[in-house]
C-alpha cells in the first residue's frame, strides 16, 4: 500500500466514500458503549450492586478469596478487564492481518460484546460477580471490535487526511452516543410512567447500548472492506494462530527498535490512562463523592457529547494549522486544569459539575481523535489491525493502571478526591514523553510518508 495515495483501500472515489460512510456509521453505533455503559450507568450501578451484597456502604465483598471495599469493586473490575485485553487484543490484530479476515473478526467481537451488554439487564440485587463477569466479556468484545475498526483508518485516508477523517469519526461517534443517551435519560427520568424502578431503568439503559451497537454495527459492516491477507498461513487454523503469534513477537521487537515510535506509544499510554479513567469514573465520582443524583451525571454527559462533537472538529482544525502533536500537547495542559478543578468541586453543586463537563468536552474528542491519527502514521503498511490491537489496550474507554490507581486510593483512603488528584501524574508524564518524541523519524522508519505538518 502506498502511504501517500489518497484512497489506499478503494478502487474508486465512490467506493472510498462508501467505506468511509460505513466507518462513520460504526462509530455512531459503537460509541453507545463508552457513553451509556462506561461513562454513566455501569459504575454507579455495579457499585450499588456490590454495596447490596456487602450490606452497607462501607462493607466488603469477597472476590476469589480477597475482600474488597464495595466502592473499590468496580475500579478493580475495570483493571481486570484491561489485563484481559492486554493478553488478547494484540494477538487478535495479528490474526486479522495474517488471515485477512478483519471484517469477520470485527463482526464476532461486536456480537460477543453487544450480547454481553444486553446481559446487564439480568444483573439484580447483589449479583456483583455476575455483573463483573458480563463486563469482562462486553469490554473485551468492544475493545477487539474497536481495534479492528480503527485499523481501517490508514486505508481510508492519506497521511495528510488522517487528522481530519479521525476527528470526523470521533465527532460522529459522540453524536451517536448523545442521541441514545438522550433517549435513555428520558426513560430514566420518567421511569415511574413506564412502571419501572430506578434500578430497572438503569438496567434497561445498559441493555439499550447493546441493541444500538448491534443495529448500527451490522448496517456499517455491510460497507466495510473484508480485509486483505498479508501472507497466507495455509488452511490450518493452528498454523494461522502460530503465524500470528510469531508476527506479534516481531511487532514488539520492531517497536523496541523504533525508539521514537515507542516513545510516542508510551506517551499515549500514559496520558490516555488518565483520559479513560476520568471517563470511566466521572459518574461514580459525581454520585458517590459529590452527592449528586445520577440524573445530574446524565445531564453532564449529554452536555459533553455535543461539546465533544464540536471540540473534535475544532481541534482537528487547530491541528491543520499548528500540527497534531502541538495540539495534543495543548490539550494535555487543559486536562490537568480540568482535574485540578474537579478535585475542588463542592458537594451538591450541580452547576459546577455541569460547567466542568463543558470544559472537559472541548478537549475530550479532539485529544482522542488526534492521538489516533498520529498513531496511524507510524503503523507499517499491512499491519494495521495488529498495531491497533496494541493501541486499543489503552484507547478502548477503560485502563488498568489508572483504574488500579483509583482502586488503591479508595481501598486505602476511601477518598474519591485523592483518587482524582492522583490521575494528574498521568497527564504530566504523558506531556513530557510526547514532547520528547520525534514523530517525523518514527513515521519515516515505519516506511510511511511524513505529513506536511506534525
Does 189 reside within a domain?
A: yes
pLDDT of residue 385: 64
Q: Is 131 exposed, middle or buried (0-12, 13-18, 19+ CB in 10 A)?
A: buried
Q: Domains in the chain: how many in total? A: 1
DSSP for 326-385 reads HHHHHHHHHHHHHHHHHHTPPTT-HHHHHHHHHHHHHHHHHHHHHHHHHHHHTSPTT-HH
Can you tell me whether residue 66 is helix, strand or coil? strand
Does the structure show a pLDDT above 90 at 211? Answer: yes
What domain range is 24 assigned to? 14-445
Does 382 reside within a domain?
A: yes
pTM of the model: 0.74
Does 261 reside within a domain?
A: yes
Q: What Å distances lie between residue 174 and 207, 309, 335, 361, 394, CA to CA?
A: 19, 6, 18, 10, 19
Question: What's the whole-number average pLDDT of the chain?
Answer: 82
Q: Which three cell numbers stand for residue 123?
A: 444483573
Does 185 reside within a domain?
A: yes
Does 8 reside within a domain?
A: no
Q: What Å distances lie between residue 62 and 53, 65, 125, 413, CA to CA?
A: 10, 6, 16, 19
Does 68 reside within a domain?
A: yes
Q: Which domain CATH number covers 299?
A: 1.20.1250.20
Q: Which three cell numbers stand for residue 25?
A: 456509521
Does 4 reside within a domain?
A: no
Does 7 reside within a domain?
A: no
In terms of Cα–Cα distance, which of 164, 140, 166 is closest to 152?
166
pLDDT per position as a tens digit, 97-108? 777 788 999 999
pLDDT per position as a tens digit, 360-405? 888 887 787 888 888 888 877 766 666 776 676 655 544 567 777 7
Backbone dihedral angles phi then psi of residue 63, each to the nearest 5 degrees:
-135, 100
Q: What Å distances lie between residue 9 and 168, 329, 352, 412, 451, CA to CA?
A: 19, 31, 46, 51, 19
Highest mean predicted confidence (pLDDT) among 116-125, 149-158, 313-322, 376-385: 116-125
In terms of Cα–Cα distance, which of 25, 276, 248 is closest to 139?
276
Amino acid at each position: 500500500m502506498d502511504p501517500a495515495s489518497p484512497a489506499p483501500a478503494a478502487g474508486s472515489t465512490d467506493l472510498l466514500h462508501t467505506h468511509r460512510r460505513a466507518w462513520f456509521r460504526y462509530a455512531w453505533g459503537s460509541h453507545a458503549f463508552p457513553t451509556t455503559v462506561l461513562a454513566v450507568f455501569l459504575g454507579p450501578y455495579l457499585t450499588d450492586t456490590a454495596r447490596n451484597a456487602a450490606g452497607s456502604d462501607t462493607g466488603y465483598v469477597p472476590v476469589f478469596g480477597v475482600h474488597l471495599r464495595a466502592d473499590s469493586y468496580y475500579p478493580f473490575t475495570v483493571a481486570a478487564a484491561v489485563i484481559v485485553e492486554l493478553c488478547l487484543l494484540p494477538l487478535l490484530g495479528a490474526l486479522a492481518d495474517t488471515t485477512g479476515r478483519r471484517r469477520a473478526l470485527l463482526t464476532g467481537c461486536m456480537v460477543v460484546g453487544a450480547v454481553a451488554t444486553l446481559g446487564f439487564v439480568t444483573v439484580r440485587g447483589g449479583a456483583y460477580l455476575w455483573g463483573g463477569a458480563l463486563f469482562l466479556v462486553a469490554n473485551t468484545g468492544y475493545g477487539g471490535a474497536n481495534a479492528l475498526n480503527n485499523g481501517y483508518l490508514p486505508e481510508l485516508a492519506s497521511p495528510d487526511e488522517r487528522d481530519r477523517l479521525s476527528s470526523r469519526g470521533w465527532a460522529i461517534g459522540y453524536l451517536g452516543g448523545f442521541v441514545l443517551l438522550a433517549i435513555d435519560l428520558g426513560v430514566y427520568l420518567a421511569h415511574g410512567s413506564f412502571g419501572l424502578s430506578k434500578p430497572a431503568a438503569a438496567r434497561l439503559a445498559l441493555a439499550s447500548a447493546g441493541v444500538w451497537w448491534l443495529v448500527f454495527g451490522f448496517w456499517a459492516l455491510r460497507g466495510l472492506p473484508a480485509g486483505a491477507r498479508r501472507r497466507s498461513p495455509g488452511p490450518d487454523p493452528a498454523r494461522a494462530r502460530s503465524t500470528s503469534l510469531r508476527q506479534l513477537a516481531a511487532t514488539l521487537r520492531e517497536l523496541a527498535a523504533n525508539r521514537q515510535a515507542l516513545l510516542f506509544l508510551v506517551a499515549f499510554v500514559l496520558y490516555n490512562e488518565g483520559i479513560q479513567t476520568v471517563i470511566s469514573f466521572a459518574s461514580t465520582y459525581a454520585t458517590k463523592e459529590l452527592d449528586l443524583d445520577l440524573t445530574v451525571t446524565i445531564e453532564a454527559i449529554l452536555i459533553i457529547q455535543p461539546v465533544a462533537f464540536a471540540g473534535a472538529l475544532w481541534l482537528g482544525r487547530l491541528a491543520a494549522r499548528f500540527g497534531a502533536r502541538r495540539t495534543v500537547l495543548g490539550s494535555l495542559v487543559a486536562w490537568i486544569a480540568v482535574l485540578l478543578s474537579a478535585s475542588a468541586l463542592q458537594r451538591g453543586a450541580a452547576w459546577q459539575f455541569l460547567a466542568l463537563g463543558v470544559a472537559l468536552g472541548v478537549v475530550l474528542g479532539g485529544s482522542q481523535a488526534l492521538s489516533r491519527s498520529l498513531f496511524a502514521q507510524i503503523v507499517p503498511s499491512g499491519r494495521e489491525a495488529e498495531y491497533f490491537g496494541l493501541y486499543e489496550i489503552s484507547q478502548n474507554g477503560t485502563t488498568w493502571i489508572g483504574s488500579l490507581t483509583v482502586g488503591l486510593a479508595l481501598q486505602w483512603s476511601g477518598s474519591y478526591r485523592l483518587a482524582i488528584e492522583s490521575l494528574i501524574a498521568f497527564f504530566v508524564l504523558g506531556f513530557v514523553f510526547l514532547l520528547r518524541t520525534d514523530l517525523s523519524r518514527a513515521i519515516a522508519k515505519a516506511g510511511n510518508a511524513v505529513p506536511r505538518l506534525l
